[in-house]
């Protein structure tokens, strides 16, 4: 018996030193977080920095009055430790290299008063599980009135006529290429085709930010945005879901489907998702991601478009659409 094939990638992000640096260079983002931190952290608080990255949130928490910080990440912990020493914070931060999804109770021996959890990948598919993780971390390691940052994550959907988001043609080309390869090798590569197709759709999901050669991010409005060349919005931003961490409730998954009103005629080739990270009434960061339509769908003004947030979408980032009056 052979092992089952690994599931397709779900668009996760693995951080490098360059990526941490690019995040820090978005000074607008960090200044918004610094202001929120001053509001959230009271003197003497114990803080858990979940997914600490470069350690910047731990440093800001200590500057805001925290007594001690437990900082955890699955990699790059040595970098955060070096920066802590460089800035005089060593001894006040306990660094731990660990996976947050399997974190043992002994990792955080005392309940924390604040949970810093910027664990999001800027994509609704992968970040649904990240929100479930934040609820779990707060329940397991936080006090009853633990403050979470961000304490609210919201998603909205915009139906788009986006010529570049032509999933059908790209996947047909990929399938033809693999078919030719199978004939030449005399072997079957169906599992590889499925995995590569899923990866290809996730690769289009995010704005082209991390691969830019320019280090200076330039003017910014506090978020990652897709280019707008050739894009037509066919509807307004429709609320999809909001995760609220500090209300005492538990995690509720995304709805199975969402209905979006159509305001202009066209062909829906993609759905643009808008993710917003909030602390109370402060917008900390926003980002966009795209799910190509599994099958492009012509629509008219006044139609109501149903988006299927199903397992196929979660596995491939291809979204099934259905229109009705």
More confident residue, 203 or 160: 160
β-bridge partners, 244:
152
* pLDDT of 208 over the 80 cut: no
- pLDDT, one tens digit per residue, over 70-90 is 999 998 899 999 999 999 998
Render pLDDT for 22-57 as a digit per residue (tens, 0 to 9).
788 888 888 999 999 999 999 999 999 999 999 999
Per-residue pLDDT, 159: 97
Q: Contact at 8 Å (CB) between 251 and 241?
A: no
- Per-residue pLDDT at 7: 36
The rounded mean pLDDT for the chain is 89
The per-residue pLDDT for 16 is 79
pLDDT of residue 220: 59
Task: Answer with the residue of higher pLDDT: 242 or 214.
Answer: 242
- Look-up of token digits 């917008």: 283
Share of the chain above pLDDT 70, in %: 91
**Domains 17-151 and 154-167+205-324 fall in the same CATH topology:** no
- Break the chain into its structural domains and give their ranges: 17-151, 154-167+205-324, 168-203
Predicted structure pTM score: 0.88
What CATH number has the domain spanning 154-167+205-324? 2.70.160
Query: What is the per-residue pLDDT across 97-130, written as a single tens digit (0 to 9) for each?
Result: 999 999 999 999 999 999 999 999 889 999 999 9
CB-side exposure of 82: number of CA atoms within 13 Å? 6
Pairing of strands 152-161, 223-224: unpaired
DSSP run (H or E) holding 241: strand 238-244
Q: Is the pLDDT of residue 216 over 80?
A: no
Query: Strand, coil or helix: what is 315?
Result: helix
CATH of 17-151 among 3.40.50.150, 3.40.50.920, 3.30.565.10, 3.30.420.40: 3.40.50.150
| Residue 323: C-alpha distances to residues 220, 294, 299, 304 (Å) | 36, 14, 7, 6
d(CA 278, CA 70): 23
């Amino acid at each position: 018996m052979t092992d089952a094939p690994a599931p397709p990638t779900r668009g996760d992000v693995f951080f490098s030193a360059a990526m941490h640096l690019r995040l820090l260079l978005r000074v607008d983002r960090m200044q918004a977080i610094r202001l929120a931190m001053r509001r959230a952290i009271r003197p003497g608080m114990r803080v858990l920095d979940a997914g600490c990255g470069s350690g910047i949130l731990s440093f800001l928490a200590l500057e805001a009055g925290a007594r001690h910080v437990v900082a955890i990440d699955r990699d790059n912990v040595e970098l955060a430790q070096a920066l802590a020493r460089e800035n005089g914070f060593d001894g006040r931060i306990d660094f731990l290299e660990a996976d947050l999804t399997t974190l043992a109770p002994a990792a955080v021996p005392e309940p924390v008063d604040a949970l810093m959890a910027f664990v999001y990948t800027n994509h609704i598919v992968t970040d649904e599980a990240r929100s479930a993780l934040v609820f779990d971390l707060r329940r397991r390691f936080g006090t009853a009135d633990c403050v979470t940052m961000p304490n609210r994550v919201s998603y909205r959907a915009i139906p788009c006529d986006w010529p570049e988001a032509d999933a059908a043609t790209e996947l047909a080309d990929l399938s033809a290429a693999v078919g030719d390869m199978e004939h030449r090798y005399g072997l079957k590569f169906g599992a590889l085709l499925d995995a590569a197709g899923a990866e290809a759709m996730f690769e289009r999901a995010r704005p082209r930010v991390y691969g830019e050669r320019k280090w200076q991010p330039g003017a910014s409005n506090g978020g990652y945005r897709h280019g707008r060349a050739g894009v037509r919005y066919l509807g307004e931003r429709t609320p999809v879901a909001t995760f609220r961490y500090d209300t005492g409730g538990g995690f509720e998954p995304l709805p199975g489907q969402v209905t979006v009103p159509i305001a202009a005629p066209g062909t829906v080739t993609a759905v643009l998702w808008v993710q917003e990270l909030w602390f109370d009434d402060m917008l900390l960061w926003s980002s966009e991601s795209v799910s190509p339509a599994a099958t492009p769908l012509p629509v008219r003004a006044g139609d109501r478009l149903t988006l299927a947030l199903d397992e196929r979408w979660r596995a491939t980032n291809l979204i099934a659409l259905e229109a009705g009056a």
